[in-house]
Structure 1
Amino acid sequence: MAVMTAASNLAVKYDATSDVLYVALGKPVPAETDMDGNGLLVRYAETDGHPCGVTVMGFRSPRWAHDVGRLTTLVANHLSVPIASVSKALNKLE
């Protein structure tokens, strides 16, 4: 399932088979990926290093299921988008 929120140009896709959530700011672009201190894979565009995405492994696992608010804040902060935009996109996945 993919969701796009126009206000922040935020694209969200969930792969239920692998339990992986992909969040991209705009269209996906070639990127470098790092693991942050919270267990998220954060992506930075190869062209200019700006934050362009987040991958959440085990999105439906108890870790994130019980702390969606924290996850929402971490994603919003990394991508510099409003928390409400991330929350709205994640809510549409349900």
Structure 2
Amino acid sequence: MTKTKDQEIAELRQAMAALIAENETYVHQIGVIRDMRPTEFDSFRLKLSTGETIVRNSEGIYASIPECSELGFIVDKDYVIDELVTDIKRRR
């Protein structure tokens, strides 16, 4: 039996409503998980094998502090990732 155009539209609307409801549930669950996350994960300090220290403050800003200095330099997330990967390789 062939569906009418109105039946097809009704089915598509129903499927779209189900997807929207699923998405809202997912977004809510992500929000709950984020709110339950301990604040200590917002900031960290990590000393690399070279003596360099990488820090991240609670605002998400990264800095690199050379071994022989107290002055930190603002760095981006890509720099941090590259340095961590290099440090892991160096330790192996």
Instruction: Tell me, yes or no, whether TM beats 0.5.
Output: no
| Relative contact order higher in (CA < 8 Å, ≥ 6 apart) | 1
- Return the structure number with greater strand share: 1
Higher Cα Rg, which structure: 2
Q: Which TM-score band (shorter chain)? A: 0.3 to 0.5
Tell me which protein shows more helix as a share of its residues: 2
